[in-house]
Amino acid sequence: MEECIEKVLDTRGALRCVRFASGNVGVVNTQGETKLVVGPFQQLNFAGNGFLRVYNRVENEEGKANEREFFIDMKNGELYTQMPEFVHFGDFEIAVIGGYLCTRTRKLYEVRAVPAEAWHGKYGLYLALPYNGEPEEKIKKRMIYDLSRYVVCLLNGDESGVYWKMQVFEDYTLLVMDDEGNYYHVKRSARSKKAVKEYLGVAGNEADRAMLLRDVREIEGQVAERLKKEAAKAKREAEKERERQMATLVSAEPFRIGNKWGLRSKGRIVVPPIYRSVKYPVGRYCAMETYPHIWGVIAVDGKVEIEAKYENVVIHTDGTVDLTVRAGKVISMKLGIRNEE
């Protein structure tokens, strides 16, 4: 542990690049706590994006200068011969150098790929990265599924490293595994918008695998049930909103442009003129004709309630409609939204 600081070389926020009395250079915070020791180099300074620039100049016996420069990612200590480029995918940042994608995590993951081969998960929950080849056998044995393609992923807000992407559920939450076989159900925090991991267990043996598979099936069932309830709620809310909108259009009346008819309410077009004929609304519905003697029913907001295929249509104020299929045959039905007189 370096203790005595000889000189401050550079400053960035609460961090300092310094030379220690030992001759080494490194990084300390404002309390003097050592964060990183690089070695006996001449110059150390901040290079941006959480990187350090290290420079050394040494003369050989012939007096010829030998210059050396490299860069260090402070997040993982990885050395780079030149400053990489940086690509952003929402909240994720990837270093790109020499045809490799390199993660900005404490445990480095690098893969020979181009940025276009990475893809964003729904809502920015994760960033998927390709994996070339196959993982070690011990890792494959910890996987509860046989995968046709291996993919790793970064989790939003998790800087520890990458995880094996095992499954995406219907609600876009995620099942991941780390290298030790620990499984997590990853969700998105409503408050922070970052990933939150729920520990499910470790795949240490066949019994563990069976338990994990059971847990995954339970998650799938819970997700399906929740999505079903959310869809039903959204449908009810949409119906209420449509009811409200329909109530404002009770004054709608037919209008014509050229030889086509539509509906307008208080001077505003609510149904564009696309029909051969439109009758005056009865409550919230009106009959429309697409071709000669081919009638159907639309609501005053333009939604087609009954497809145009009848010889005639008669709408009643109680919300029923008589549909003439052919001469002498009439069928009656109730429209979806009750008319108001």
- Return the domain boundaries, the chain: 1-83, 85-247, 253-334
Rounded average pLDDT over 239-249: 87
What is residue 340's predicted lDDT score, i.e. its pLDDT?
A: 40
Q: How far from each other are the two terminal CA atoms of the chain, in whole angstroms?
A: 87
Note the pLDDT tens digit of each residue in 22-45. Answer: 999 999 998 889 999 999 999 999
Rounded average pLDDT over 155-177: 96
Is the separation of the CB atoms in 111 and 151 below 8 Å? no
pLDDT of 240 above 60? yes
DSSP letter (8 states) at residue 139: H
Note the pLDDT tens digit of each residue in 123-132. Answer: 999 999 999 9
Percent of the chain that is helix, strand, coil (3-state, to 5): 15, 50, 35
Rounded CA separation 221/200 (Å): 16
pLDDT-wise least confident of 56-65, 176-185, 227-236: 56-65
Amino acid at 60: N
pLDDT band at 216 (very low <50, low <70, confident <90, very high): very high
What is residue 180's predicted lDDT score, i.e. its pLDDT?
A: 94
Q: In terms of DSSP H, where are the helices of 168-303?
A: 206-247
Q: How many CB atoms lie within 10 A of CB 258?
A: 6
Note the pLDDT tens digit of each residue in 270-286. Answer: 999 999 999 999 989 99
Rounded average pLDDT over 129-155: 94
What is residue 327's predicted lDDT score, i.e. its pLDDT?
A: 74
